[in-house]
Structure 1
């Protein structure tokens, strides 16, 4: 029994605007655009048997607060020139500089058109084959505890864990990394960005939810009502969903 990260879910007041931004930013196509939800991914992505992740932008009525998101994307680059070109292109698409106390660092911190922070990294060998998303980064108080929970929750491989960070990636060695960084302060507002997980075809959704509760997850009521997915939070309160499988 295990789950696989399949979607990065981003909340937005205007999903079409934010969805178009991220499609252009990542070089992906919009695979579907229904009222209140814009889906985008690389060509050939099959969410039922995922290799890597897709991005879904979902409309919500609440704007982002001034509080920094505790989950964000890091974008990969292949050279210093590529980093500069990507930053310039993203700004032309509507990104703005973001200041999150980063100081003098080799990466560039930006925000999408609704203020969701993300980083454009300097070229790093570890991210040479991830595709446009180098990592999904989660701020946390205890990376070791998060590695224990997520290492049991999903079928990704734990590559490194210290007091300050933990790093996981698909056992297939493709797609982005999932990284947990020790960050001062706990979670105070709902996540604007979260992961959606998918069970294997022969596994049971409720059994998976029960298994994760035993690991420390808690049920989450976001006013979602009667929906086919399960909303939970990890031991530090980061929201995630277990999706229903559908054809």
Structure 2
């Protein structure tokens, strides 16, 4: 599905597809729980019916969000089995099963409202856990990125690297993470994957028109690219 991401990139969308879509089933699950609670508190069957509609819609939307997540995993993480991704996959499977159970229980009507509240709460807890590990994947603790010289441009590059690159590349070793480790990159003669000669031009080309499955960063300015290069020279 690389062609889809390339098409979206041409119209200015450079981000993963999963994050904006996953909010739909997660919001519906939370809504189902809230409406069920309101129905119980105020003894209003209409709210229970609304909670059931939320669960049905969540059951329809969740597989789409999961599919987009799998596509993003291949596109942006090269299919790497990172721990948060593995946990998210397991929890996503659990969530689909629980949503299906919720739908079955909701068909019993208002008389099963207490059971529905319990199952909805479990669905919501699972959804929150999925969101947590999604956050860990993107914003979780990363190894400190240090700059060994006083170049302000290199410091800017370190900050930019932490935001855009650190999730996939180690800076303190040559071991692969999602992509290759970059320690000593500019001390080597060849780039680790493309095997092109190491130079500022080759690194710039890798950022703009990457070799293999690394995502491109056409939105980076020349100054930002230079800051990344200056930072990588310190590794």
More helix by share: 2
User: Could you say which TM-score interval applies, normalised by the shorter chain?
Assistant: under 0.3
Output the TM-score relative to the length of structure 2: 0.23
Output the TM-score relative to the length of structure 1: 0.22
More strand by share: 1
If asked which structure has higher relative contact order (CA below 8 Å, sep 6+), I would say 1
